[in-house]
Structure 1
Amino acid sequence: MLRLDTDADANLYVRTAPDCIQALHKLSSKGERVAIFRANSADVKVNAAGAFALAPNGDLYQLIFALEITRYDSLTTETEASSPS
């Protein structure tokens, strides 16, 4: 399913994945490409980008899936029990 959204200035946002390069394209009301957004991060290696949403103030949010997931094997907690005096 092709996901489309528009902002208050009538710009169109569409998510594409030609040649497996996932990106969000921002198109003006005249059909001109204004921007391309690609999910990347210096802290997280991005495996895939998913759904996106536009906030009322124009901020763009996108769900990403990390290539590597850090898991914790076990968590330990030390507590002291005391008896009432």
Structure 2
Amino acid sequence: MHLTTDTESLRVYEALASEVRLRIIELLDRKEMHIKELAAELYISSAMVSTHVAKLQKAGLINSKMRRVDGGTYKYCSLSTNCLQIKLSGSRGIC
């Protein structure tokens, strides 16, 4: 994912400005997880995890899909990218 200092990239920077969201990214780097698994790992409620996941999704950092497992429906999350590149305004040349 390529970022700059424009306002479109601001959404990503805001999503990364949280210890909980950074921890979610670390966990998802290991494996795909559903909301309840993330909540258990982070020791916070599923509702709070859902809020953080929504912000990460809006920034384009994670994907999610609903999956039916053992009679229940779970929202599974995974990373959508494993690399961020930032080009600062006024920088010359290619990064």
Q: The TM-score by the shorter chain falls in which range?
A: under 0.3
Q: Between the two structures, name the one with larger relative contact order (CA 8 Å, sep ≥ 6).
A: 2
**TM-score, normalisation: structure 2:** 0.22
**TM-score, normalisation: structure 1:** 0.24
* Larger radius of gyration between Structure 1 and Structure 2: 1
